[in-house]
Each structure stands twice: as structure tokens, then as C-alpha cells.
């Protein structure tokens, strides 16, 4: 894992079984709990060559929102999407083929600016029960500092990338632009929002890259990048859905 001043991608560092291991450190308990069936019906597990790779959010019966760094360099034929389960080992979700990966044309893999992709499924999912779409935050959506948001994901629980298969979630606080700005966090842009806990005890290292950050039941952010797991004074960065709302509408008709 990278040093605190070096950004790293949150590819499969995720909500673990209460423990998330950092290199050369003891395991730390930083929160998170198991989701109940149907609690996050919009949650997607993106599978690469049969293994969990990233998170995503179902926004229509054929479209998923995720992070661009989750799909960059990948082939749609090697990826699948699983929806409608809180346990990947249970075999009770819908496994969907992917027809198209649509990476934001302004995505910058060095800075992670415009870190968003859309995924078009080969056929519609069956909506109902544990499979539902999530509403997108409006283009001008904004929230006060310390507003509580929710992250969720299937990701790894330790530095060996051991996957728990079960969906977990945690609460994080949104940071205001007084702290979440390019002066305090070099590289941060208007397409990014910050969330975490000032003490570092809760952070999006507990959530899959590409997975949802929700506020008031709407998709407000997409897990993008950070400086370390549970680093004091270092939030995680999320792609701001409101800033890219028109692009989503143009390409997903949502």
C-alpha cells in the first residue's frame, strides 16, 4: 500500500469484516457491517474473469455506473455484472453479460479526473424485490459538511485481497469545500467530492472502487481514489455524480 502522500486506486480495497490491513501495520477495526438481503438493491458486483473486480450501481434495467479506472483497458467480453445478491457465494443473483463499456472521454488516469464509466448490459435485468435501480443526484445537488452518506461493497478485507463474498456497508461524513479543495488536497477537482471521518476511523477503503456513495437514497458519488486506509485527516475521493449528470443523461438516457 502506498505512503500517505501518494494516491492509490481503490480497486478492491473494500468494506471488510471489520478489519482492514495496512502494510507494516496491525489490522485496524474501522467499522462497517454486513448488509441484509435486499438492503442495497442497486448494488452491482463487476466480475473480471470470474472474480469480483469492482463495484457499481444499477441506474436502469440496462445501465450501470462505475469508475473509469475499473473499466479502462478491459474488454466487455471478459466482464460480467452480478445484481440482486448480498452474498456472491450464494448463487442467487442475476449474472448479466456486458455489451459495452463507455468511459468518460475526459477521464485522466494520472489525476483520476472524470473517473466515471457507464456499462451497458447485453439484456435487461429483471427488476423487482432485491433488484432495483437507484435515483441519481441532481446536477446541482449539494449537502452541508458532515452530512452522513453510505458506502457499500464486496471488496477485500486484507492486504492479501481476500474477498468476503458478503456485502458490507458503512457510514461516512461528507467534507466541505473548506477542507476538500485543491489547496489542501493537490489534484482534487470540481468533479470530486470528499468523504470519510476526520479521525480516519472510517473511510472509503471500506468500499469498492466504482461502488456507490449514497445520500438520502440517491447516488451522490462513485468511489474513486484515496491516500491510505483510515489515514487521519485524509478523506477518500469520490467522483461527483452531479458534475457529470448531463454526460450520464446523454449516454444512458437516465
Residue in 115, 152, 204, 208 annotated catalytic? 115
The C-alpha R_g of the chain, in whole angstroms, comes to 16
Quick one: DSSP state of residue 174?
Answer: E
Joined together, the cell numbers standing for residue 44 give 452491482
Joined together, the cell numbers standing for residue 81 give 455484472
SS3 assignment for 110-122: CCCECCCEEEEEC
* Cβ atoms of residues 153 and 44 within 8 Å: no
- Annotation says 209 is catalytic: yes
Q: Which helix (H) or strand (E) element contains residue 252? A: helix 245-252
Residue in 69, 113, 117, 197 annotated catalytic? 69
Helices of type H across 23-88? 68-71
Burial-class residue 34 by CB neighbours within 10 Å (0-12, 13-18, 19+).
Answer: middle
* Cβ atoms of residues 183 and 35 within 8 Å: no
Sign of CA dihedral 207, 161, 198, 86: positive
Residues labelled as active-site residues? 69, 115, 209
Amino acid at each position: 500500500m502506498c505512503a500517505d502522500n501518494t494516491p492509490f486506486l481503490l480497486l478492491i480495497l473494500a468494506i471488510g469484516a471489520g478489519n482492514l490491513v495496512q502494510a507494516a501495520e496491525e489490522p485496524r477495526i474501522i467499522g462497517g457491517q454486513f448488509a441484509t438481503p435486499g438492503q442495497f438493491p442497486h448494488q452491482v458486483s463487476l466480475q473480471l474473469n470470474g472474480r469480483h473486480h469492482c463495484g457499481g450501481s444499477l441506474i436502469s434495467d440496462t445501465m450501470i455506473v462505475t469508475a473509469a479506472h475499473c473499466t479502462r483497458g478491459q474488454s466487455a467480453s471478459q466482464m460480467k455484472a452480478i445484481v440482486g445478491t448480498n452474498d456472491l457465494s450464494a448463487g442467487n443473483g442475476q449474472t448479466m453479460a456486458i455489451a459495452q463499456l463507455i468511459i468518460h472521454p475526459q477521464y485522466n488516469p494520472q489525476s483520476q479526473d472524470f473517473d466515471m464509466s457507464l456499462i451497458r448490459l447485453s439484456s435487461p435485468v429483471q427488476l423487482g424485490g432485491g433488484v432495483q435501480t437507484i435515483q441519481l443526484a441532481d446536477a446541482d445537488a449539494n449537502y452541508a459538511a458532515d452530512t452522513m452518506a453510505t458506502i457499500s461493497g464486496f471488496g477485500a478485507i486484507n492486504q492479501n485481497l481476500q474477498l468476503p463474498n458478503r456485502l458490507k456497508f458503512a457510514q461516512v461524513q461528507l467534507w466541505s469545500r473548506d477542507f476538500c479543495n485543491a489547496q489542501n488536497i493537490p489534484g482534487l477537482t470540481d468533479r470530486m467530492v470528499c468523504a470519510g471521518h476526520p479521525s480516519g476511523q472510517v473511510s472509503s477503503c471500506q468500499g469498492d472502487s466504482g461502488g456507490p456513495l449514497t445520500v438520502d437514497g440517491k447516488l451522490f458519488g462513485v468511489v474513486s481514489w484515496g491516500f491510505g486506509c483510515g489515514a487521519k485527516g485524509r478523506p477518500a475521493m469520490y467522483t461527483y455524480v452531479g458534475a457529470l449528470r448531463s454526460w450520464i443523461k446523454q449516454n444512458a438516457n437516465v
